[in-house]
Amino acid sequence: MSRIATLILAAGQGTRMKSQLPKVLHPLCGAPLIAYPLQLAAQMKSETTVLVVGHGRDAVQRAVAQCPGGDRVRFAVQTEQRGTGHAVMCALPALKEHDGWMLILSGDVPLLTHRTLQRLQRQMQGSTAPLGFVTFVPGNSAGYGRVVRENDEVRAIVEHRDCTPKQRAIKEANAGTYLIEAAFLRSALKKLRQDNAQNEFFLTDLVAMAAQRGAVPTVQADEAEVHGINDRVDLAQVERVLLSQKAQTLMRNGVTLHDPDTICIHPAVSVGPDTDIGRGVHITGQSRIGAGCHIEPGVLLHDTVVADGARVRAYSVIEGSHIGAGAQVGPMARLRPGSRLGDNAHVGNWVELKNTVMGDNSKASHLAYLGDGDIGDNANIGAGVIFCNYDGYLKHRTTIEEDVFVGSDCQLIAPVTLHRGAYIASGATVTHDVPEDAMAIARARQVNRADMGRLFRERQAAEKALRAAANESPKARRKSTARPKPPAKGKPR
């Protein structure tokens, strides 16, 4: 078949979504609905793709620009909703140089497959008709255009509201996907009329015109594949289908999924064999999981790479990060964008990383915040360590070189560098660089005052008893919370 251009109809408001957001921008498995027909056009090697927009067109155009290949999409505007035929009329000026075939898709049918379109292409190759389309048999045919046949050959598509009672009994319906010869499309659109119940220009009327030139080819798809999104119930049902398809593919390729119905893995995610994924896991975006990994229950991974043999323990939240081979994360750890763990590194419970690189075999086992840092190999970060990276205006980096030991409850005031082999004593507040192999001790000297603990307890107990006796009257509360008067000027405080 010769060159193909693609028209995607996406001008509708989608009122049944009950949303200010245009229907084609509602997310489905992490991508807007419109991304799915755009991907299909790319698979069909479409030379030109034109998107017909209307409601919320500025937002749609911005979203399309973020989709793969979206920078090459052309736009046509349908200012009035006057039917599918009118939408295609609006798009023709953007395709005035195209003389091959035109593939017409709906912007809200995300499950249509490349395989079905290839079948339609093959059917068209042996036909003299200038048009072919996809059909299906719905469970409930209300609202769908019926495919009218004589002697098994297509004669027309009649919209539901225009059907006779006999035609409404027809089971085969139109799926709204067409492959049309460009020259025929241009001439046939000029003959469209609005003599129907909706007073609109219907693309379906072209089928009867095409049938006069030869047998119109069709291919039948499953109802689920051509199911359009009309409301949020449809959206949820279609998302469940996509997630189920992904889960089945992964399991057949050697991935273990515990309770697949509770697991969300987006279509673009890749997972290696012998990886074990627990209940309630969400892996989204462009994440890539290696072979032999363990992803424990409740983990959230987004746009993250997990190398072979790594383990992400329960209820960790990781986005925009890279986890090295054999590394361990969690449980209940958080890795924010820009974080990178080396091979066999270990980040434990309640540890947060942000834009921090941790070298091979380094570890931060618990209760730490490591933001904007560079940590070398074989470093140890103790419990309660904080990288103080923000001064109220700017972010600064903390650098920890190889073989550094940072004791518990230390604050590292960035920018600061701990050179190779340095040892930071527990409880230190480090404000200056620490030389190689040096020990930094930065804390006040401990002072023990005899009997001060007992005296403090006695005084506080007496105060508590006094307040209880006064029953905390409003007057007593005001007196107890009143600010002390400042000392007289010139007198010692």
Residues annotated as catalytic are 366
Other CB atoms within 10 Å distance of the CB of residue 89: 21
Token pair belonging to 14 = 């989608």
The residue to which tokens 């992803």 are assigned:
295
Could you give the CA distance from residue 274 to residue 91 in angstroms, rounded to a whole number? 49
CA angle 375, 361, 312 (to 5 degrees): 95
Number of continuous H segments (helices) and E segments (strands) in the chain: 10, 39
Question: Could you give the residue ranges of the DSSP H alpha helices within 426-473?
Answer: 452-469
Whether a cis peptide bond, with omega within 30° of 0, leads into 32 is no
Give the DSSP letter string of 286-343: T-EE-TT-EE-TT-EEES-EE-TT-EE-TT-EEES-EE-TT-EE-SS-EE-TT-EE-T
Contacts of 388 (CB under 8 A, 6+ apart): 411, 412, 413, 414
* Token pair 């949303």: residue: 19
Dihedral sign, CA of 184, 186, 192, 198? positive
